Amino acid sequence: SDGVLLGKYFLENRTPVEFEQISPNVINALVAIEDARFTKHSGVDPRGLLRAVNGVFTGQSGSSGGGSTLTQQLVKNLFEARTEKYKGVLGNVPLLKMLIIKAKEWITSIKIERSYTKQEIMTMYLNTVEFGSNAYGIRSASRTYFAKEPSQLSVSEAAVLMGMVQNPTRLNPKFHPKAAFDRRNTVFAQMVKYGYLDQGQAARLKAQPIRLDYHVENHTNSKAPYFMAVMKDQLVQQLNELNQGRPDDDQLDLYTSGLKIFVTLDSRMQAHATEAISTHMRDQQAKFNAHWGKLAPWRDENGKEIRGFIEKSARRTDRYRELKAIYGTDEKAIFREMNKPNRMRVFSWRNEEGVDTTMTSMDSIRYYKRFLNTGFMSMDPNNGHVKAWVGGINFKYFKYDHVRQSRRQPGSSFKPFIYATAIDNGFTPCDHVTDQPIHFGPEDGVPGGWTPKNSNGRYSGQSFTLRKAIGQSVNTVSAYLIKKFGPREVVRYANQIGITSPLVANPALCLGASDVSVYEMVNAYSTFVNEGKRWKEPLVITRIDDRYGNVLKTLDPEFRDALSPETAYLMVHMLKGALQEQGGTAQRLNTYECGKNNEIGAKTGTTSNHSDGWFMGITQNLVSGLWVGGDDRSIHFRSLALGAGGKMAMPAWAMYMDKVYADKTLGIEKIPFKKPTGTTISLDCSGYGSGSDSIQVIQPTVKPKGQDGLL
pLDDT, tens only, 155-180: 999 999 999 999 999 999 999 999 99
Return the DSSP state at 581.
S
pLDDT tier at 99, thresholds 50, 70, 90? low
Rounded Cα distance between 401 and 260, Å, is 24
pLDDT tier at 697, thresholds 50, 70, 90? very low
Calculate the dihedral angle through the C-alpha atoms of 199, 200, 206, 210, rounding to the nearest 10 degrees. -130
Q: Which of 246-255, 313-322, 423-432, 440-449 has the lowest mean pLDDT?
A: 246-255
Helix extents (H) in 293-340: 309-314, 318-327, 331-338
pLDDT tier at 612, thresholds 50, 70, 90? very high
Mean pLDDT of 374-378: 99
Q: What pLDDT was estimated at residue 212?
A: 92
Mean pLDDT of 217-238: 85
Q: What pLDDT was estimated at residue 682?
A: 62
Mean pLDDT of 519-523: 98
Rounded Cα distance between 243 and 250, Å, is 8
Rounded Cα distance between 296 and 313, Å, is 14
- For residue 93, pLDDT over 60 is answered with no
Reported as a single tens digit per residue, the pLDDT across 312-326 is 999 999 999 999 999
Reported as a single tens digit per residue, the pLDDT across 463-499 is 999 999 999 999 999 999 999 999 999 999 999 999 9
Rounded Cα distance between 106 and 363, Å, is 58
Q: Is the dihedral of CA 430, 432, 435, 441 positive or negative?
A: negative
| Closest-CA residue to 473 (of 451, 453, 493) | 453
For β-strands 432-434 and 463-465, DSSP reports them as antiparallel
Rounded Cα distance between 346 and 358, Å, is 10
Q: Confirm if 71 and 34 have CB atoms less than 8 A apart.
A: no
| Closest-CA residue to 466 (of 392, 325, 571) | 571
- For residue 336, pLDDT over 70 is answered with yes
Reported as a single tens digit per residue, the pLDDT across 619-676 is 999 999 999 999 999 999 999 999 999 999 999 999 999 999 999 999 999 999 998 8
- For residue 575, pLDDT over 50 is answered with yes
- For residue 701, pLDDT over 50 is answered with no
pLDDT tier at 425, thresholds 50, 70, 90? very high
13-206 — its CATH code?
1.10.3810.10
Sequence spans of domains, the chain: 13-206, 375-709
Superfamily (CATH H level) for 375-709 = DD-peptidase/beta-lactamase superfamily (3.40.710.10)
Note whether 13-206 and 375-709 share their fold: no
Q: What pLDDT was estimated at residue 9?
A: 82
Q: What pLDDT was estimated at residue 14?
A: 74
Mean pLDDT of 38-65: 59
Q: What pLDDT was estimated at residue 688?
A: 53
User: Nearest 5°: phi and psi at 665?
Assistant: -65, -20
- For residue 706, pLDDT over 60 is answered with no
Mean confidence (pLDDT) of the chain = 88
pLDDT tier at 82, thresholds 50, 70, 90? very low
| Closest-CA residue to 366 (of 281, 292, 279) | 292
pLDDT tier at 353, thresholds 50, 70, 90? confident
Encode 337-375: b = buried (16+ Cβ within 10 Å), e = exposed: bbeeeeebeebbeeeeeeeeeeebbbbbbbeebebbbbb
Q: What pLDDT was estimated at residue 171?
A: 95
pLDDT tier at 7, thresholds 50, 70, 90? confident
CA–centroid distance for 64 within its chain: 43
pLDDT tier at 189, thresholds 50, 70, 90? very high
Reported as a single tens digit per residue, the pLDDT across 228-268 is 999 988 899 999 999 998 998 889 988 888 899 999 999 99
Percent of the chain exceeding pLDDT 70 equals 87
Q: What pLDDT was estimated at residue 535?
A: 96
Give this prediction's pTM.
0.80
Q: What pLDDT was estimated at residue 352?
A: 80
| Closest-CA residue to 66 (of 48, 78, 92) | 48
Rounded Cα distance between 229 and 205, Å, is 43
Q: What pLDDT was estimated at residue 405?
A: 95
Question: How many C-beta atoms surround the C-beta of residue 682 within 10 A?
Answer: 10
- For residue 109, pLDDT over 90 is answered with no
- For residue 80, pLDDT over 60 is answered with no
